[in-house]
A and B are shown apart, each in its own frame.
Chain A
Amino acid sequence: MATQVVDHSALKVNQTGIIATVLVAVFGSEVVPALIWLIPVLAIVLLVGTFAPRFALFKQLYFQVLKPRGIVKPRPVPDRPEPHNFAQGLGGIFLGISSLLLFGPPLLAGDFRPGPGLVIGLALALIVAVLAFVNLAFGYCLGCQIYFQLGKRGLIRAS
């Protein structure tokens, strides 16, 4: 069935990058408030990486640095990249919504500090990190399951 090969180490590095960035943004912003801007930056990184994989920051870190230096060993698995890209895009969208909740209303008023949507915005970012962790630790990819459901209903070409 699956004729392509996906390097799962690249996916794991990507998930680790997402978790680390969200945790630094959420909890680090208590000490350095500017760190909260990592959330919109991560949203952009994920969305750009979905549509142009060569600009996927964490995957490029793996392919250009970690893999050539032998820091992370490759783990090729017969698989398809589309569900994983879809899941990454979904993560990007949720972080985008989180960014809008965090900065949308204040930015309109010319203020660069988070507004009243702070708690919900941070919670949404944490949920993205939890889902990335579940994928990293247990191999359960919620975005891939949504991709399968959409394919089953004929909404996207999944097979």
Chain B
Amino acid sequence: MNAQVWALAVAGVVVLAAACLEIFRARHARAKTVGATAAPASDPYILYFTGEGCTVCHTHQEPALAKLGAVRIDKVDAIADRTLADRFNVYTLPTTVVMTPEGRALHVNYGYATAPKLERQLAEARGAGLQAATA
């Protein structure tokens, strides 16, 4: 069993290192992306980066977005519109970006984002929009 235990330890270390790298990568990309701009709108909206081959987009993200109700969602094919995808550092699908009415990225979610999380972020974006309007 000695070899099996060592193999398990090696695999564990590799998986742990990969998870840490992924967390660092997401934080780095998020820090670079928050504040990036797109077209302004009357209300907060969501930029939703997806692709034909993105399974989680179809099975999880789209039903979550549908629960948000009357929120504008701009669906972007991350491969067809590479310029926009690069501006928001899209390295994984799905990616959702919550935009303030002025067209500034407030929250960036790399990977699946739940409906309650998006609702919270949209509420913050509405607050940020009001602050900007009164300032």
Contact A158–B14 (Cβ < 8 Å): no
Which residues from A are CB-within-8-Å of B111? 140
Q: B134 within 8 Å of A by Cβ?
A: no
Contact call B52/A159, Cβ cutoff below 8 A? yes
Residues from chain B with a CB closer than 8 A to the CB of A2 are 52, 58
Q: Mark A110-134, 1 if CB is under 8 A from B, else 0.
A: 0000000011111111110010000
Q: Report A89 CB to chain B, min CB distance, Å.
A: 14
Q: How many A-B residue pairs have CB under 8 A?
A: 96
Chain B contributes a number of interface residues (CB within 8 A of A) equal to 31
**Across the interface, which residues of B come within 8 angstroms of A79, CB to CB?**
53, 55, 58
Taking CB atoms, residues of chain A closer than 8 Å to B24 are: none
Q: Are A77 and B58 in contact, CB atoms less than 8 angstroms apart? A: yes
Whether B14 pairs with A123 at a CB distance below 8 angstroms is: yes
Query: Can you give 24 A-B contacts (C-beta < 8 A)?
Result: A2-B58, A26-B4, A26-B7, A27-B4, A30-B1, A78-B58, A118-B3, A119-B3, A120-B10, A126-B7, A126-B11, A127-B14, A139-B55, A139-B60, A148-B54, A148-B92, A148-B93, A152-B78, A152-B79, A152-B85, A158-B52, A159-B53, A159-B77, A159-B80
A sample of 12 more A-B contacts (CB under 8 A), given A130-B11, A130-B15, is A2-B58, A26-B7, A27-B4, A77-B58, A119-B6, A119-B10, A126-B11, A151-B51, A152-B78, A158-B52, A158-B53, A159-B51
Binding site for A on B (CB under 8 A): 1, 3-4, 6-8, 10-11, 14-15, 50-56, 58-60, 77-80, 82, 85, 91-93, 111-112
